[in-house]
Chain A
Amino acid sequence: MTELARMIAAKNVSSVEVVQAHLDRIAALDGKLKSYITVMGESALAAAKAAEAAVHAGADLGPLHGVPMGLKDLYCTKGVKTTGGSKILGNWVPAEDATVVARLAGAGAIALGKLNMHEFAYGPEGLNPHYGTPWNPWDAKVHRICGGSSSGSGASVAAGICPGALGSDTGGSIRLPSALCGISGIKPTYGRVSRAGVLPLAWSMDHVGPMCRSAADCALMLAAMSGYDPRDPTTSVLPVPDYAAALTGQIKGLRIGLLRSFFLEGAGQTQRAAVEAAAKALEGQGATVEFVDLAKVTLGPAASHAVLAPEAYAYHEEWLKTRAAEYGADVRERLRVGAFVTGAEYLKGQRLRTLLRDEVDEALAKLDVLLAPSTAIEATPVGQNEVRIGSETFPVRASLIRFTRPFNLTGHPAASVPCGFTAEGLPMGLQIVGRPFDEATVLRVADAYQRITDWHTRRPPMAA
């Protein structure tokens, strides 16, 4: 995206050519990938022509001028249907844009279409019974999960049918598909980016963020999206730094904590080795690395059950009573669980979040960032429900969200960048967690890592 924006502004390539090339790739590849629910070809080309005219007229150009991108289909788009990956909202057309959609358009970005996702964002695999489950582009033969819920965002960016995409993250839904699809994504601090006009899963755990091919692209996109929004009272009034300027490549003296128990010790051997190698590589650039243990992360599943389930149920309550048959079976069942959480349990979950947040804050008082695997496992075949880690068997769902969910509960910024491949050629992710509202340091570390590695430049077989 960074390079495309520069080339478009320099008239080396026209936004019409760029958009048309992406539409052609969508037509050629997305029949199998199923990453788009709605392709906005006509409006994208019209916007590209206007962008091209603005370049030739010498107009002031935004940082994303003429650059196409995809929007997860839970972002409201004025005049364009927004399904949430559901049948229930299959024909719903919002009357206005989500704040971030408007901000990205204001920065010059062009919406290519609306991207597939786990129904109503309630699932870490990225499955979808209504629009088809997106195909992980790293395995052309076996239909593997992309990770979710932003599965279409992960698949489309990895396959090169959009340069960047919006995801959302309630338990890992930006970081999981980023890890499993070999791309870069960041869940910013809770309150950094507006959730106004984004279909909620759980109001107090939902985060909005970019998914791109590099940390530098994420920095560009995040800067255009961030900042206070009166439509979302949870957004912060803190100023938005220049994230791109923070990417100095310098991490000398940076203090890094490598999360050991629960994280490294709970990951598959390959994931663990990849993250340890990444820590070593960063140490080689002048950072100091030490092991850290977070004892209270074991509270995560209980806190998440107490908070996420009833918040999701509260949003869906009426539809569950009147249109239950229209949900996919997995999401319907998951949503109904929330009906049985009491008010006292909900608040107990919120108190556990405080304990967990305090512990992460305490670790980050002495360290600049924390490292962990993004997931315990690689992309599994669609339909596989269990996985072996070491000598034990675990549910796939729990193994996916185990390392990401704690930071939805705490609200800390957390990115995932590619850090290697399994023997089967499937990508793995390195998670980088920072202090509240210090996305700049998270991105600086991610970018520094990408300057000394080439994992993020590799392309999947289905991108050819």
Chain B
Amino acid sequence: MPGIMQYSPPMEKLTIDTLRTLAEAQGLELTDTELAALLPLVEAGRRGLAAVREIPPTTEPASQFRIL
């Protein structure tokens, strides 16, 4: 197991059309104005996450299923 898990470089920039397709696929009907307002918020979130490129492979998600 490598010492560090590398995440790929960030995806290409989102567009309003991409966002519309993603929204429609989930049953969300959004106007162009609404999509335009969402775009920078979604992009900022993705940018922040994409900037984190390295996480140790032994790091498990904080939410884990517990039966007790």
Hey, which bits of chain A sit against chain B, CB under 8 A? Answer: 204, 233-234, 299, 301-302, 305-306, 309, 320-321, 333-334, 336-337, 339-341, 345, 347-355, 357, 409
Contact = CB atoms under 8 A, between A and B. Distances in A.
A337 B62 contact: no
A331 to B, nearest CB: 13
B48 A302 contact: yes
B4 interface: no
A354 B38 contact: no
Contacts, number: 76
B12 interface: no
Given A321-B27, A345-B49, A355-B55, A337 B61 contact: no
Given A309-B45, A341-B45, A357 B38 contact: no
A354 B7 contact: no
A354 B57 CA distance: 12
A310 B34 CA distance: 18
B66 to A, nearest CB: 7
Contact of A301 (B7, B27, B48): B48
Contact of A352 (B29, B37, B44, B52): B52
A302 B51 contact: yes
A44 to B, nearest CB: 39
Given A306-B49, A350-B62, A355-B56, 12 more contacts: A204-B62, A301-B48, A305-B48, A333-B38, A336-B34, A337-B42, A339-B28, A340-B42, A341-B45, A349-B49, A354-B61, A355-B59
B28 to A, nearest CB: 6
B14 to A, nearest CB: 8
Contact of B60 (A301, A345, A351): A351
A204 B63 CA distance: 7
B48 A233 contact: no
Contact of A302 (B22, B34, B49, B62): B49
Nearest to B7: A348
A348 B59 CA distance: 10
Contacts of B45: 302, 305-306, 309, 337, 340-341
Nearest to B57: A351
B66 A233 contact: yes
A83 B28 CA distance: 24
Contacts of B1: none
Given A333-B37, A354-B61, A357-B62, A348 B26 contact: no
A349 B45 CA distance: 11
Nearest to B39: A340
A230 to B, nearest CB: 12
A315 to B, nearest CB: 15
B28 A302 contact: no
A337 B38 contact: yes
A402 B11 CA distance: 27
Contacts of B48: 301-302, 305
A346 B33 CA distance: 27
Contacts of B49: 302, 305-306, 345, 348-349
Contacts of A351: 55, 59-62
The 5 closest A-B pairs by CB, nearest first: A350-B61, A353-B62, A302-B48, A305-B45, A340-B42
A347 B61 contact: yes
A302 B41 CA distance: 12
B24 to A, nearest CB: 11
A400 B50 CA distance: 24
B54 to A, nearest CB: 10
A348 B52 contact: yes
Nearest to A321: B27
A347 B55 CA distance: 12
Contacts of B16: none
> Taking each of A306, A351, A355, which has the highest tally of chain B beta carbons within 10 Å of its own beta carbon?
A351
Contacts of A353: 61-62
Given A204-B63, A305-B49, A350-B61, A336 B38 contact: yes
Contacts of B29: 321
B16 to A, nearest CB: 12
